Amino acid sequence: MNVIKMDGILTPTASDIVKTLAKAKKPMMASELKESLSKDWNTIRTNLMNLEKSGRVHVDYIGTSRYFALNGKEKFQDHIPISESSYVWFDIFEPNNNINQHFIRIKQTRRKSLDEWEPVGTLTIPPDVLSRFIQKLNKLKETLDTEYSSNDGELDGSVAPMNSNHRSSLSQNKRET
């Protein structure tokens, strides 16, 4: 499987997809990329999936068609280690030729081998939703702080257990919104 390395080096096909999207200056369907790059479906699909997972491209749905567009350039980057083999990264992306708007990308990576990382997932947040997003995270933190204490031995400070009380409190919070 082609894996996009998180140090900025793309597989040759992923790099070709990024260059093609940048040159096109418009979203493209996978079939257009397949034809333009003369690659098989599986190679195009796998690389598009990895580019989307890493947050490098985004997908717009028009009817039943999927259009892929380059997200733009990173303006800032920071990260938080979750463990020795997992990080959460924060970026601000500039719009790419009026295709999209500024947004914040939060992505998680995990160690695949000693010197290679792979994307686990990505979340893009437009600036106008950021305050609500932070409020929801703070509310979840309050729930964790009130329902779990560091004395009960259930939490190690990094990962919340998914027991029935935790699920029910999240369900209650969901119903409140």
CA pair distance 54, 66, nearest whole angstrom: 18
Domain ranges in the chain are 12-70, 74-126
**In the prediction, which pLDDT does 57 show?**
86
Half-sphere exposure of 51 (CA within 13 A, CB side): 27
Q: How high is the pLDDT of residue 69?
A: 85
Answer CATH for 12-70 from 3.40.50.2300, 1.10.10.10, 3.30.565.10, 2.60.40.1120: 1.10.10.10
Between the two ends of the chain, the Cα-to-Cα distance in Å is: 41
| pLDDT score of 11 | 86
Looking at every residue in the chain, the average pLDDT score rounds to: 78
Q: Give the Å distances, CA to CA, from 74 to 66, 92, 104, 108, 162.
A: 24, 6, 10, 16, 35
